[in-house]
């Protein structure tokens, strides 16, 4: 395992041609565009600011009324390590996250993977939206993400309404 100095030298070498900076700027720009699309389509739904991250993830959150009243939100995430778009159900804070995670476990939820509680884990439920990211077809990519997020939101609300009715 290298030292921080070795890692920094490697970073400097890889940054020297500018391709990493251009790619990162392109991803952040696309996420900003996506945030604007959701903001214009969501009506009464609040949309958070864009978190650019530290080359781990870039995301923004949606606060649909049906989830917001439960202190829940939906995060639309670009995961750099797996190089894919994901959607997460997340809570306002860690105690609520643990409570909702346990609710999903106890109810036997199986449609999407549950995130394993751990330090630094923000998701309760995770779903992959897009794994083959072609930014050339930005409109198609946007449509695919929007459809996936709406389906995920519907799944989460339907599940929580069902559990509330029990």
pLDDT value for 76: 98
Residue 1 in this model has a pLDDT that exceeds 70 = no
Structural domain boundaries in the chain: 4-165
Q: What is the mean pLDDT of residues 7-31?
A: 94
CA dihedral 98, 161, 144, 77 (to 10 degrees): -20
Percent of the chain with pLDDT over 70: 96
pLDDT tens digits, one per residue of 90-143:
999 999 999 999 999 999 999 999 998 888 889 999 999 999 888 899 999 999
Cβ–Cβ under 8 Å, residues 127 and 113: yes
pLDDT value for 165: 73
pLDDT value for 44: 46
Quick check: helix, strand or coil at residue 148? helix
pLDDT tens digits, one per residue of 157-166:
999 999 887 6
Residue 85 in this model has a pLDDT that exceeds 80 = yes
pLDDT averaged over the chain? 92
SS3 breakdown of the chain: % helix, strand, coil, rounded to 5? 50, 20, 30
Q: What is the mean pLDDT of residues 48-70?
A: 94
Q: Which pTM does this prediction carry?
A: 0.91
Q: Any residues with CB less than 8 A from the CB of 81 and at least 6 apart, and which?
A: 56
Residue 43 in this model has a pLDDT that exceeds 90 = no
Q: What is the mean pLDDT of residues 30-41?
A: 93
Quick check: helix, strand or coil at residue 91? strand
Cβ-count burial 70-83 (b if 16+ within 10 Å, e if not) = eebbbbbbbbbeee
Rounded to whole angstroms, the Cα distance separating 65 from 55 reads 31
Q: What is the mean pLDDT of residues 21-38?
A: 95
| Contacts for 72-76: CB closer than 8 Å, 24+ residues apart | 72/96, 72/100, 72/124, 72/156, 72/160, 73/48, 74/149, 74/152, 74/153, 74/156, 75/122, 75/123, 76/31, 76/34, 76/35, 76/38, 76/129, 76/145, 76/149
């Amino acid at each position: 395992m290298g030292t921080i100095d070795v890692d920094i030298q490697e970073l400097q070498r890889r940054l020297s041609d500018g391709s990493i900076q251009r790619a990162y700027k392109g991803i952040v720009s696309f996420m900003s565009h996506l945030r604007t699309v959701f903001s214009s389509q969501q009506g009464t739904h609040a949309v958070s600011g864009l978190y650019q991250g530290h080359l781990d993830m870039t995301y923004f959150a949606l606060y649909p009324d049906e989830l917001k009243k439960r202190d829940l939100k939906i995060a639309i995430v670009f995961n750099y390590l797996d190089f894919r778009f994901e959607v997460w159900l997340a809570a306002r804070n860690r105690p609520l996250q643990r409570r909702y995670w346990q609710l999903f476990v106890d109810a036997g939820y199986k449609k999407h993977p549950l995130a394993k509680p751990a330090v630094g884990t923000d998701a309760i439920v995770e779903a992959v939206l897009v794994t083959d990211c072609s930014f050339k077809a930005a409109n198609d990519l946007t449509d695919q993400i929007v459809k996936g997020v709406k389906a995920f939101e519907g799944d989460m609300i339907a599940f929580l309404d069902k559990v509330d009715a029990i």
